[in-house]
Amino acid sequence: MNTYKLKTPLTDEDILKLKAGDVVLISGIIYTARDAAHKRLIDTINRGEELPFPIKGSVIYYVGPTPAPPGRPIGSAGPTTSYRMDPYAPTLYKLGLKASIGKGKRSDEVKKAMQEYKGVYLGATGGAGALLSQRIKDAKVIAYEDLGPEAVRELVVEDFPTLVINDVYGGELYVKPKL
């Protein structure tokens, strides 16, 4: 297992060096979206309209943060269960999404899309939302404000800690090796 410090937007070269189990510290801009926002993103794509952020090279964090306490850009920001985004994720990977961050397993369709379009699935530690929020330096709502905590946000992160769960080679951290 290796540790990589990556800056967004991510490239194919960034993704191709990652293997399941590697630690990735992300710096730069990442975006938040959960299931209601994902449905709207796909509806936007289907209407031929432009997404509220550049999808090529981007990272989407599946999170619905709590309100920001005084002096902080965001409240607790722990990952949500990723499978709820699985119906939408393959389309986003096809359009250039390079990584999604969440918790839990992904569907076979999402894993295939990551392999085909050079993307990865990164895990963030569930239950550590307060600690993860300390790596978020700025946060602003950029779309779907009516969704409250599930609105799309642009986050500026510094060394945001993740683990590669699924890589482009079919590797998966959650699968036990056959003996």
- 3-state SS, residue 81: strand
Identity of the amino acid at 157: V
Catalytic-labelled residue, pool 6, 14, 38, 152: 38
Active-site residue, 38 included: yes
Beta strand pairing status for 23-32 and 152-166?
A: antiparallel
- Dist CA 93 CA 117 (whole Å): 6
Instruction: State the distance between the two ends of the chain, measured CA to CA, in whole angstroms.
Output: 20
51 token code pair: 């997404």
Give catalytic residues, as residue numbers.
Answer: 38
